[in-house]
Amino acid sequence: MSKVFTITEGLENMGALRTGGQGSVYKGRRYGPIITAVKLLPTPIHTESTDDKNFRNFQNEVEKLKKVNEEPNPNVVKILNSGITESGSFPFIEMEYIDGPDLEDLLKPPHEAIFTIKEIIKLADQLANALSHCHKVSVKHGDIKSNNVKFNIHTGNYVLLDFGLSAMSDDQRRTSIRHAGAIEFMAPEQNEGLMYFQTDVYSYGIILYELIGGQVPFPLNDNGETSRNAVMLAHMEKQVPDVMELRKKNLPAGWTEEKKQHEMQVPAWLLKIVAKCLEKEPENRYANGIELQEVLVYSSISAVNSTDVDDSWNASVLLKENERLQGLLLYYQEAESARGVHVVNPGTETPVVVGKHAVRISKPLFISLIVVLVALTGFSSVMAIKHRKGIYNTFFKSTTPPRDTLSQGSTQARPDSQVKKDTHEETQPVNNDGAASIPPEVDSLADSILRGVKHKSKSDPQFYRDSIKNADTSKLSF
């Protein structure tokens, strides 16, 4: 293939990729298989000297662009080199070549006119990342449009291209925009040649609007001066059309009704971001790409405003879940105390009414609770029977157990050899003086003391005898 002109030593011109009023992009090749993209700027520089104003401005802007690549970013094209062509003395910027279609091509047949919500959010995130990266090093792109965003088929990323407008002086930029700029993506202030960080934010909003609605808010009918002025005036004065109406109109006919219904549910937070980006006054937009990315990330994981209609279901679901858990907790508290449980309908899951709340529990859990309650009831019944039996024995079976007797008027027990058991002995034996030996109630008290001592030491008779000797009989009155 014949060369149109020589770019510079070691860099071969392989033909034009794209031409326009702001310059042309050529496919270049260095020694070997390395392919690059070369941006030629339209204003020639005749002398590579700081005395030349154009060369000085170009050098200043290129120095800014070099900061973009001090920290690599997957969504920003790498700037490899810059200089002046050998023939024609045109300034150029050499960038990495991104293999893949432009965003503009992805919105044309055979592709659909609109993007899916999932792909819109992906591109919104990656393009915001690119803007944030550039604005952190004080580089304004100034020419963000759909054919300056490319899809890298090797990485699956969207990449921001073409920093040519950034490398121009203010006068060059103003002239280039007025006559050859992509007027449909330009902010109102660019009509006067002004460029801020908010200018890039506005163009970012136009791209998202196009992906959602299938067209830009103010399309350019032709490239005539009248049409261009009308579009720029619309950006300055007219209200942005409802993007959801355009999306509904441009829904692909090949989509199913279910998919159409799903794809019309664009998140409210995304629409709010687009609306703020497209504010007429720069101060009403996001201040820069850094703020834009922060809002986008925050909004994608949480609701910007809890009163939004689209997010109201979150609150209602949480309230219902909270009420269910409170009812379940109340049920377990009531079940533990075995009160207030009313079974409505047995089954795999059993509704249980506790107060004003109704919860459902699984059948295994319900059966387990019933078994526990039955066990507790049986245990209580056994203990009650034992208790009643003890009372019965006390009042109706007053058989006197074997016991040792105390000598009259003596505080010491007789020796074991003198202790005799007499089953025919009367209840109240009489001594030689004709007085009762021990009153029944006193005898019972003494007997209980002795029984307690015997129970404590059945295997130690000596301990038993010593305990009798040391027993407290001070309370015994005869």
Question: What are the pLDDT digits (tens) for 7-40?
Answer: 777 777 777 877 766 677 888 877 667 788 888 8
Predicted local confidence at residue 421, as pLDDT: 44
Predicted local confidence at residue 300, as pLDDT: 84
Q: pLDDT (tens digit, 9 = 90+) per residue, 206-259?
A: 999 999 999 999 999 887 888 888 999 999 999 999 999 999 999 999 999 999
Residue 467: pLDDT over 80 = no
Q: pLDDT (tens digit, 9 = 90+) per residue, 127-142?
A: 999 999 999 988 888 8
CA distance 53 to 169: 9
Domain boundaries, the chain: 12-301, 315-398, 399-478
Query: Which residue did the predictor score with more confidence, 319 or 178?
Result: 319
> Angle at which helices 197-213 and 117-136 pack, to 10 degrees?
170
Residue 432: pLDDT over 60 = no
Q: pLDDT (tens digit, 9 = 90+) per residue, 259-303?
A: 999 999 999 999 999 999 999 999 999 999 999 999 999 998 864
Predicted local confidence at residue 1, as pLDDT: 42
Enter the tokens of residue 354.
Answer: 């506790």
Across 343-363, average pLDDT: 52
CA distance 11 to 90: 14
Predicted local confidence at residue 53, as pLDDT: 78
Predicted local confidence at residue 393, as pLDDT: 58
Query: Which residue did the predictor score with more confidence, 1 or 255?
Result: 255
Using 50, 70 and 90 to split pLDDT, how confident is the model at 343?
very low
Using 50, 70 and 90 to split pLDDT, how confident is the model at 2?
very low
Predicted local confidence at residue 335, as pLDDT: 75
Using 50, 70 and 90 to split pLDDT, how confident is the model at 351?
low
Three-class HEC string of the chain:
CCCCCCCECCEEEEEEEEEECCEEEEEEECCCCCEEEEEECCCCCCCCCCCCHHHHHHHHHHHHHHHHCCCCCCCECCEEEEEECCCCCCEEEEEECCCCCEHHHHCCCCCCCCCCHHHHHHHHHHHHHHHHHHHHCCCCCCCCCHHHEEECCCCCCEEECCCCHHHCCHHHHHHHHHHHCCHHHCCHHHHHCCCCHHHHHHHHHHHHHHHHHCCCCCCCCCCCHHHHHHHHHHHHHCCCCCHHHHHHHCCCCCCCHHHHHHHCCCCHHHHHHHHHHCCCCHHHCCCCHHHHHHHHHHHHHCCCCCCCCCCHHHHHHHHHHHHHHHHHHHHHHHHHCCCCCEECCCCCEEEEEECCEEEEEEHHHHHHHHHHHHHHHHHHHHHHHHHHHHHHHHHHCCCCCCCCCECCCCCCECCHHHCCCCCCCCCCCECCCCCECCCHHHHHHHHHHHHHHHHHCCCCHHHHHHHHHCCCCCCCCC
Using 50, 70 and 90 to split pLDDT, how confident is the model at 397?
low
Predicted local confidence at residue 126, as pLDDT: 96
Query: Which residue did the predictor score with more confidence, 312 or 261?
Result: 261
Return the CATH class of domain 12-301: mainly alpha
- Of the ranges 79-83, 239-243, 328-332, 455-459, which is most confident? 239-243
State the average pLDDT for the chain.
75
Query: Which residue did the predictor score with more confidence, 77 or 341?
Result: 77
Predicted local confidence at residue 341, as pLDDT: 46
Query: Which residue did the predictor score with more confidence, 298 or 335?
Result: 298
Predicted local confidence at residue 396, as pLDDT: 53
Predicted local confidence at residue 199, as pLDDT: 94
Q: pLDDT (tens digit, 9 = 90+) per residue, 149-183?
A: 999 999 999 999 877 555 555 555 555 555 556 88
Counting residues of the chain whose pLDDT is more than 90, the rounded percentage is 33
Q: pLDDT (tens digit, 9 = 90+) per residue, 85-121?
A: 887 788 888 888 999 999 999 999 999 999 999 999 9
Residue 471: pLDDT over 70 = no
Using 50, 70 and 90 to split pLDDT, how confident is the model at 72?
confident
Predicted local confidence at residue 90, as pLDDT: 84
Query: Which residue did the predictor score with more confidence, 395 or 214?
Result: 214
